[in-house]
């Protein structure tokens, strides 16, 4: 067996880490270069010591898991085999090793070492375990990647024992910015520019209080997202971090928001004036619905008389969840007249919302219950005077019905005046980073060879 140590080294050409007042750090592209080299020695048969070179950010090792495993595999010389086995339901580590030619005593010692850094009970079907085998001496190591940020090793020592290592690995991250125009849908058009699903969902949640994504979005609306992106050592995207900035222009009116952590440690999104993205009440307390009737006078579909329609109707499949439009206290949750199954919620500042024709109420929804914004309070149905499954949604202000669409004009809760200066610094800092932020998708470079030895045809 060779005794040379395994050396893992990676130079990370990333931008200088800029602290933005968050609990996490943001790498600002274009701000400079830093380099970190982590050397982990003797994972095979060398002395069981760990050496670390001078590192600017010692908590972050800019290296991919695949490189670590490839390096371990490279230590196996002629006659050595690296084999990957996939855990199936009911498999446990010891028996799995024996099925692959490891003797019982060695399998036991490997399992004991492995258990010192990772409970064998946490192994799951579908996980891959790499076995490093020597034709003469049997098993000399195993490795496992439970997730992107963790790598586990069990390696044989010169004395013939087995030692386990648990490595936490961080990846380089940078601030990227994606801008685009909606041609098909926000989801599709953002995905084509490299925006992960997680970021697009978060983006839509920021605007859900003021924008009806099923009716307000039109082709030509512009969007911008600036978010953290983690990459492996080869530059391939791994996962998204925080969404720091959003810009959106439904109906031609731009609305921008910045991520800010207040002095209490709570993160939220605020516009340039320090007003929160969250509104007191949601315009549309249901997803996947079609607006079937608006606010105002109309001909009633059952009675045939023209009368005021004091709310809006959303047609949706029976059983579709209905959300509380805002924080409040349930005043009633029962069957009531032509409204069928009905919920009314009292909010602050004289606002109340009502939800009618429900199929059923969500668990725990009753008079006196306190609800949070977005909490499921019931399910779409067609109880009471109804021609089909739909939600009848009303908003009242000081006892008078108002058009739910007017809620989009309500401003979010502003930051305290004592925090406005800190927020302005944070906003300016993000804007500076955005100026040099690259796109999420790196351009593909194509090398073209020049023609020699004759004229072009």
Rounded Cα gap, residues 204 and 213, in angstroms: 8
Strands (DSSP E) contained in 8-127 are: 17-18, 26-27, 38-39, 51-52, 80-86
Q: How far apart are CA 226 and CA 270, in angstroms?
A: 15
Beta strand extents in 113-236 (DSSP E only): 128-134, 138-147, 150-156, 162-168, 173-181, 222-231
Q: Which run of H or of E encompasses 104?
A: helix 104-115
All domains in the chain, ordered by first residue? 17-168 (3.10.450.350), 290-407 (2.70.70.10)
CA nearest neighbour of 247 among 239, 237, 257: 257
Q: How far apart are CA 194 and CA 176, in angstroms?
A: 10
Cα(9)–Cα(302) distance, integer angstroms: 75
Give the three-state DSSP class for 203: helix
Residue written as token pair 């109707």: 313
The region that residue 454 occupies, defined by phi over 0 for left and psi between -120 and 50 for alpha, beta otherwise, is left
pLDDT the model gives residue 33 = 22
- Return the pLDDT at 408: 60
* Terminal CA-CA length for the chain: 60
Q: What is the pLDDT along the chain (457 residues), one digit of tens a residue?
A: 333 222 222 222 222 222 222 222 222 222 222 222 222 222 222 223 232 222 222 223 334 444 444 444 444 444 456 788 999 988 889 999 998 888 899 999 999 999 999 988 889 999 999 898 876 658 888 999 888 778 888 988 888 889 998 888 777 889 999 999 999 889 899 999 999 999 998 998 888 777 777 667 888 999 999 999 988 777 788 889 999 999 999 877 889 999 999 888 889 999 999 998 888 888 888 887 777 776 655 444 544 445 577 888 988 899 999 999 989 999 999 999 889 999 999 998 899 999 999 999 999 999 999 999 989 999 999 999 888 899 999 999 999 988 887 776 566 788 999 999 999 999 999 999 999 999 998 876 554 444 334 443 3
Contact 355, 391 (CB under 8 A): yes
Question: 253 in helix, strand or coil?
Answer: coil
Residue 316 in contact with residue 391, Cβ under 8 Å? yes
DSSP-derived letter for residue 414 is: B
Instruction: Judge whether 142 and 131 are in contact, CB under 8 Å.
Output: yes
CA-nearest of 362, 358, 401 to 383 is 358
Residues 6+ positions from 446 with CB-CB distance below 8 Å: none
Which of 302, 368, 384, 372 lies closest to 355 in space, CA to CA?
384
C-alpha dist (Å) from residue 43 to 3, 6, 137: 10, 6, 17
How far is the C-alpha of 234 from the C-alpha of 322, rounded, in Å? Answer: 45
Select from 371, 368, 376, 282 the least CA-distant residue to 327. 371
- C-alpha span between 408 and 213 (Å, rounded): 12
Helix (H) or strand (E) segment spanning residue 66: helix 65-74
Q: In this structure, what token pair is assigned to residue 215?
A: 């009716």
CA distance 255 to 126: 44
CB count within 10 Å of CB 197 equals 11
- pLDDT score at 80: 58
Q: Which two tokens stand for residue 343?
A: 């919920």
The structure's pTM equals 0.58
Report the 10 Å Cβ neighbour count for 288: 11
């Amino acid at each position: 067996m060779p005794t040379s140590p395994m050396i893992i080294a990676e130079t990370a050409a990333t931008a200088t880490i800029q602290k933005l007042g968050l609990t996490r750090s943001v790498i600002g592209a274009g701000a400079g270069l830093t380099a970190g080299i982590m050397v982990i020695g003797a994972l095979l048969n060398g002395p069981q010591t760990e050496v670390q070179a001078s590192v600017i950010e010692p908590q972050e090792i800019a290296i991919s898991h695949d490189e670590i495993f490839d390096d371990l595999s490279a230590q196996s010389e002629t006659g050595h085999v690296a084999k990957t086995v996939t855990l199936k339901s009911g498999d446990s580590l010891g028996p799995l090793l024996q099925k692959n030619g490891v003797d019982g005593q060695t399998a036991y010692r490997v399992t004991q070492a492995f258990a010192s850094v990772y409970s064998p009970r946490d192994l799951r079907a579908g996980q891959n375990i790499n076995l490093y085998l020597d034709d003469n001496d049997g098993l000399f190591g195993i490795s496992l990647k439970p997730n992107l940020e963790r790598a586990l090793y069990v390696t044989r020592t010169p004395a013939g024992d087995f030692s386990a290592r648990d490595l936490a690995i961080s990846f380089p991250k940078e601030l990227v910015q994606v801008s685009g125009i909606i041609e098909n849908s926000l989801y599709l058009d953002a995905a084509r520019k490299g925006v992960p699903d997680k970021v697009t969902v978060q983006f839509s949640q920021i605007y859900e209080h003021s924008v009806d994504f099923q009716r307000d979005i039109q082709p030509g609306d512009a969007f911008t997202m600036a978010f953290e992106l983690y990459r492996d050592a080869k530059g391939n995207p791994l996962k998204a971090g925080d969404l720091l900035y959003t810009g959106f222009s439904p109906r031609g009116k731009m609305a921008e928001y910045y991520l800010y952590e207040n002095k209490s440690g709570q993160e939220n999104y605020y516009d340039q004036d320090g007003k929160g993205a969250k509104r007191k009440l949601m315009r549309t307390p249901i997803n996947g619905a079609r607006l079937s009737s608006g606010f105002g006078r109309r001909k009633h579909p059952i009675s045939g008389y023209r009368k005021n329609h004091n709310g809006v109707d959303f047609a949706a499949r029976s059983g579709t969840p209905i959300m509380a439009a805002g924080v409040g206290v349930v005043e009633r949750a029962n069957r009531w007249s032509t409204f069928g199954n009905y919920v009314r919620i009292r909010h602050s500042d004289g606002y109340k919302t009502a939800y009618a024709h429900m199929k059923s109420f969500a668990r725990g929804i009753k008079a006196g219950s306190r609800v949070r914004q977005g909490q499921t309070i019931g399910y779409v149905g067609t109880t009471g005077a109804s021609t089909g499954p739909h939600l009848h949604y009303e908003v009242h202000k000081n006892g008078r019905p108002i058009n739910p669409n007017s809620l989009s004009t309500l401003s979010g809760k502003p930051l305290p005046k004592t925090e406005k200066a800190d927020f302005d610094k944070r906003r300016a800092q993000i804007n500076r980073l955005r100026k040099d932020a690259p796109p999420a998708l790196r351009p593909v470079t194509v090398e073209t060879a020049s023609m020699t030895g004759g004229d072009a045809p």
